[in-house]
Amino acid sequence: MTFSSTTLNHSSARTNPFIREEKSRLFIRRETANIRPFSPVQWEEKGSGRKFSSEKRPAAQIRKCGDFVARIRELIENNIDDEHYSIARLCRDAGTSRAQLHRNLIAATGLSASKFIRRIRLEMAKVLLLNTDLYVYQVAIEVGFSDYRYFSRVFSQSYQQSPKDFRQNMGL
């Protein structure tokens, strides 16, 4: 079976946008910049010698980023006691793909999705340790950790003291 060069080029042009001749370098670079909208990107307009930079984020992008993080945080807090609340369920609840969730969280917070979920759980654990007299294993269960020893280890790594020591040092 042989393919003619026109058939191959035509079908390739449909599936690969970088083959199409009418796309200029500027357009391709802009598409790349939109994939990582918060990283500084520099490009040059083809033929003009003008340089552009996306180092400064427009206020609308910052607001959008904050709204996104607030929405994700709210979803996590609503399901904080569910130890089986996964990134897949978070993506489904947020109506976004896993890659987009990861990319947006990294851009906004510098944390991956799993680390972001863990941080929110640990922040809630701090609040419970300070404001309640629940045992450490009860706090662990309340914030979605099924194993209180793992909870203590993660808490100690994050705050350089055990949950019990944290409670004693803060005065409860």
Give 70-97 pLDDT, tens digit per residue: 999 999 999 998 889 999 999 999 999 9
> How far from 155 is each of 81, 85, 113, 134, CA to CA, in Å?
16, 19, 18, 16
Give me the phi and psi of 51, to 5 degrees please: -110, 145
pLDDT band at 38 (very low <50, low <70, confident <90, very high): very low
Quick check: 53 pLDDT over 50? Answer: no
Quick check: 143 pLDDT over 50? Answer: yes
DSSP 16: -
State the pLDDT at residue 163: 95
Section 49-66 average pLDDT: 51
State the pLDDT at residue 43: 41
Write down the domain spans for the chain.
Answer: 5-53, 59-169
Identify the residue with better confidence: 167 or 12: 167
Cα–Cα distance measured from residue 101 to residue 59, given in angstroms and rounded to the nearest whole number? 20
- For residue 168, which amino acid is it? Q
Burial 77-92 (b: 16+ CB within 10 A, else e): eebbeeeebeeeebbe
Cα–Cα distance measured from residue 142 to residue 29, given in angstroms and rounded to the nearest whole number? 47
Query: The whole model's pTM is what?
Result: 0.62
Section 3-17 average pLDDT: 48
CA torsion, ordered 152, 155, 160, 164, to nearest 10 deg: -50
Cα–Cα distance measured from residue 75 to residue 48, given in angstroms and rounded to the nearest whole number? 47
Domain 59-169 is of which CATH architecture? Answer: Orthogonal Bundle (1.10)
Give 18-32 pLDDT, tens digit per residue: 444 444 444 444 444
State the pLDDT at residue 49: 54
